[in-house]
Structure formats: structure tokens, C-alpha cells
Chains A and B, each alone.
Chain A
Amino acid sequence: MLLFVEVVQSIFFLFALLLVVASLMTVLARNPVQSALSLVFAFFAASVLWILLEAEFLGLVLILVYVGAVMTLFLFVIMTLNIHASEEQRGFVTYFPYAVISVAVLLGMLIYAILSRFISSASITQGAGYNNTQALGDVLYTQYAYPFEIVGVLLLVAIVATIALSAREKRLNKAIPPKQQLLVHRENRLHIIKMQPEKKI
């Protein structure tokens, strides 16, 4: 039992350290691609921590949705836009020390608040027959069914909005561009046909 506790603790510290390092790399990396890959790494470490907290379903969803979809989208956009690997771009700003100091003060206050209120080592583990996915589904499809459907509509709106934003030409717009209008010659529109006058019957 003691060995098990030590193994769990060392897993926690290893992945917590990885998470902090990957976050730091995301913030400080000069190349956007490097930044995105560090963020992927941070998501992996966070999902291990979530699984350690017995949130297995959300840990796997974090990998599937974030690493599989969102970060791939980020990388696609980075490579599509071909942002020049930021020569002289991402130099440190002039107010860098002040930013670090203020964020450090914030972090100190947060840690002080946490330590003054939430010290407990009471760890609860669920029983052996506990199924996180099933428990989550039981609540999600009954008590939270309405928010769940709203989220579905929200995703649909996001699809439509993304396509509408990034479509290259306006598809629903039937106005004729003035440039094409001015380029029209008389011959394009008007044909004069010679024909015999018809006889009166």
C-alpha cells in the first residue's frame, strides 16, 4: 500500500513538472510551431493528472478533442499563414520585468489563499466497480440534457460561422462587380440581324 502511494505521488510530481515546463515553453518559445507543440505536451501532462484524479473520461476527451482537433487546427493555421519565424519579432517587451513581478505577486496571493484555506490530505478513491464514463453519462443525459443540447446547437453555429467567415468569395451576393460592368462592350449584349421584311398577308 505504501509503495502504491509512493508510485502515485511520483507520477503526480513527474507530470506536474512536465506540465509547468511545457507551459513555460509555450509562453517563451520564439517559434509559433514550437509553442503549439509545447501546448500539446502540456495537454498530455494535464490529461494524465486528470486520470489520476479519477476523471478518466475527461482525460481521454482532453487528448481526443484538444490534441486531436484543436491543436491540429492551430498547427494547420500556423502552416497555412506561413508566419515568418518571427525574426526579431518576439523579442522581450520593454515592460517584461513589470509583467513578471505583477504575475509573481498574483501567484503569491493565490498560493497564500490556497494554503490558508485548503490544507487537507483527505484523499477519497472510488470503489472498484465505479465507472466514471457511466456516472457522467447518467447525470449528463438526465439532469443536464438541456444544456447539452444547447452546446450541440452552439457547435453547429460555430461550423456555420467558420465556413461563412473563411469562404473566399461571397456566395450569396448577387451584385455585379462594377469592374465587370464597365468592361462590357456593345457586342456582348446587342446583336443586329439583317433579315428580309415579312410580307403582309
Chain B
Amino acid sequence: MIPIHYYLILAAIVFSLGLLGLIINRKSVLISLMCIELLLLAVNINFITFSHYARDLTGQIFVFFILAVAAVEAAIGLAILIVLFRSRHSVEIDTLSQLKG
């Protein structure tokens, strides 16, 4: 019904948009975290597409684990963000230059 490359191109577009957001956003750590969620979503769409067209459930199992790890990542990232805001009173990436990297 729907050719496989439609899904793959859609995932590529979503991935590119997430990457673009990660590059052009220099201000808020929150937006960066959301863009990472977008990247993970694109990867998951690819996994599910291949899982469907190859008739193999392993891809869906992998998406399951990716979802769990992404939830952990978001929770810990936001906790770090709160600690950061408490000590710095801002979440701007530009101001986080204490390590002089």
C-alpha cells in the first residue's frame, strides 16, 4: 500500500529537522533536550518501518528499549536542568562556560 521509502524519507526529514534545531539553538537547554527527543523519534520510525517490512519483531523490541532509555535520559536531564537553574538562575547554554571548554 505505502511504499517503504515514503516512511524512510519522512524519518529522514524529521531527523534533519531535529538536527537543525540542535544546531541553531544556542540558548535553552530545554529546547536542546526536545530536539534530541525528535531525533530519537525519527530513529524509532525507521526501526518500526523496517520491522514491518521485514516481518521481524526485533525492531519493535529495540524501539521498546529505546523508549525506556529515552525516558530515563529525559528525567535525569531535567533533574540536572533544575539543579543548574538553582545554582545559576539561567538555563542558557552560552552562560555555561565555567569549564572554559
B-contacting residues of A (Cβ < 8 Å)?
Answer: 5, 8-9, 12, 16, 19-20, 23-24, 26-28, 32, 35-36, 39, 42-43, 46, 49-50, 52-55, 57-58, 61-62, 65-66, 69-70, 73-74, 77-78, 80-81, 83, 86, 89-90, 92-93, 95-96, 99-100, 102-104, 106-107, 110-111, 114-115, 118-125, 135-136, 139-140, 144, 147, 151, 154-155, 157-159, 161-162, 165-166
Contact = CB atoms under 8 A, between A and B. Distances in A.
Nearest to B59: A55
Nearest to A125: B1
Chain A residues touching B, majority SS: helix
Nearest to B37: A39
B79 A16 contact: no
Given A8-B1, A124-B55, A140-B61, A106 B19 contact: yes
- Which secondary structure characterizes the binding site on chain B? helix
Contact of B14 (A19, A36, A115): A19
Contacts of A35: 30-31, 34
Interface string B73-100: 0111011111101000001100000000
Nearest to B83: A165
B27 A90 contact: yes
Contact residue range for chain B? 35 or more
B1 A140 contact: no
Nearest to A20: B13
B30 to A, nearest CB: 5
Interface of B: 1-10, 12-21, 23-28, 30-31, 33-35, 37-38, 41, 44-45, 48-49, 51-53, 55, 57-58, 60-61, 63-65, 67-72, 74-76, 78-83, 85, 91-92
A20 B35 contact: no
Given A16-B10, A55-B48, A114-B12, A93 B78 contact: no
B17 A162 contact: no
Given A27-B20, A55-B48, 19 more contacts: A12-B2, A42-B41, A50-B48, A58-B60, A70-B74, A73-B78, A74-B30, A80-B82, A89-B28, A90-B27, A90-B28, A100-B20, A107-B13, A115-B9, A119-B3, A124-B52, A151-B69, A155-B68, A158-B72
Given A81-B85, A120-B3, A53 B75 contact: no
A114 B75 CA distance: 34
